[in-house]
């Protein structure tokens, strides 16, 4: 949970992350007048968004696998048609 808010710093002592135990966020000067609950809410949202894995998702990988499968099927069908055409037109 969020431990406290100081004048220009929000310290998050429970990050819910296996690698980091604390986070210290510096509040922008324009946001200094924001209420403390809003600062805490924004700090938590920022840390949660940073915890999401970057890179390719399973969905992207599955789309790539489906695309490769379609390409393989199309190549096989093309080879089959070429073989049939060669046999049909061979004298």
What are the pLDDT digits (tens) for 17-69? Answer: 788 888 888 888 888 888 888 888 888 888 888 866 555 555 666 777 888 89
The CA distance from 46 to 8, in Å, is 16
Give the SS3 label for residue 55: coil
- Predicted confidence at residue 33, as pLDDT, reads 84
Give the SS3 label for residue 3: strand
Which pairs count as long-range contacts for 1-6, CB under 8 Å and 24+ apart, including other chains? 2/40, 2/43, 2/44, 5/36, 5/39, 5/40
Contact 10, 43 (CB under 8 A): yes
pTM summary value: 0.46
């Amino acid at each position: 949970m969020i431990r406290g808010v100081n004048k220009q710093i929000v310290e998050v002592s429970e990050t819910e992350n296996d690698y980091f135990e604390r986070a210290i966020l510096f509040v922008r000067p324009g946001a200094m007048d924001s209420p403390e609950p809003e600062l805490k809410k924004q700090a938590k949202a920022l840390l949660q968004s940073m915890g999401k894995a970057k890179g390719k998702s399973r969905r992207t990988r599955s789309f790539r696998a489906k695309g490769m499968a379609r390409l393989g099927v199309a190549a096989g069908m093309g080879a089959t048609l070429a073989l049939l055409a060669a046999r049909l037109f061979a004298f």
